[in-house]
Amino acid sequence: MAYLLALGSAALYGAADFLGGIASRQTNTIAIVFASQGAGMVLLALMLPLLPGASPSGADLFWGGAAGLTGGVGVALLYRALAVGTMAVVAPTTAVCAVIIPVMTGVFFGERLAPWTLVGIALAIVAIVLVSQQETAASVEERAGALPPGVGLALASGVAIGLFFLALARTDAQAGMWPLLAARAVSVTLFGVIALVTARPLRMAAPVARMAVAGGALDMLANALYLLATRYGPLSVVVTLASLYPASTVLLARVVVGERLNGWQVAGVACALAAIALIVGNG
């Protein structure tokens, strides 16, 4: 069950990132993050009365707030990277960094995993790297010099998102979804203050606003599935499966905006499927 929840979160994360990246190409990133995070917070607030009762502790709300801070920053950096770079490069680069921090932390604190599960995790990381490969004239030039557009932002985003995964996993099962509400309250406040201080306009065209709201709703649902998955399965496995979200982003970029998959990226998708089979089959 935990692994299916994690895979569901990966699919939703990828779709949310795609929408956020497209929206960020049409208006300022701060406005998109504020709108998407706010939409997610409203959605969760409406759902809470329908969910089973929960008793969050101060520690749960603290870790939720920490997740909101790191996750908000990570999402903002990711959306900006997706806006200025190639989605098929940016999303997997972020995922590589995001998966390393929680996985290494889980192993450090004594998680024992089956050998084939470890192989699956390693293969998933290989899949993320392969999906990021692009064979174009521009990419050849970039290998000889500076990083491709958006990759620096993607690396920083990955570190922040990895800390988000780690913080959210520290919350207790009895806390229910309240840590997510605390996370959204922190991130919405943060980006509201940033918009105020920097005088960034929050208004946007209606089609862009719809994308931001839809992305925020999908992101919140993905967070909820991830949070549930961490309570039923080992962190290192759950976060690896959740970090397969670039496959969803890359496929949407291919179908909607015409970004093409090359041989390396096809191999990456195949590795991702094999990784899922190994992890789920040995969980």
Cβ–Cβ under 8 Å, residues 193 and 135 = no
How many C-beta atoms surround the C-beta of residue 269 within 10 A?
Answer: 18
Cβ–Cβ under 8 Å, residues 281 and 114 = no
The arithmetic mean of pLDDT across residues 243-271, rounded, is 77
What's the rounded Cα separation, in Å, for the pair 43 and 39? Answer: 6
DSSP state of 177: T
Q: CA–CA distance from 222 to each of 26, 86, 242, 261 (Å)?
A: 24, 23, 9, 25
Q: Two tokens at 114?
A: 């089956």
What's the rounded Cα separation, in Å, for the pair 54 and 69? Answer: 23
Q: What is the pLDDT of residue 261?
A: 64
pLDDT of 157 above 60: yes
Q: What is the pLDDT of residue 246?
A: 77
Report the range out of 24-28, 58-62, 262-266 with the highest average pLDDT. Answer: 58-62
Q: What is the pLDDT of residue 217?
A: 93
pLDDT of 276 above 70: no
pLDDT of 233 above 90: no
Higher-pLDDT residue of 138, 210: 210
Q: What is the pLDDT of residue 125?
A: 76
Those residues whose C-beta lies under 8 Å from the C-beta of residue 160, and which sit 6 or more positions away, are 70, 71, 73, 74, 77
Q: What is the pLDDT of residue 277?
A: 67
Q: CA–CA distance from 220 to each of 9, 18, 111, 213 (Å)?
A: 9, 14, 27, 11
The arithmetic mean of pLDDT across residues 132-152, rounded, is 57
Q: Could you give the dihedral angle defined by the CA atoms of residues 226, 232, 234 and 237, in that order, rounded to the nearest 10 degrees?
A: -50
pLDDT of 137 above 50: no
Q: What is the pLDDT of residue 215?
A: 92
- Rounded to the nearest integer, the mean pLDDT of the chain is 82
pLDDT of 70 above 90: yes
> For 190-205, what is each residue's pLDDT tens digit?
999 999 999 888 888 9
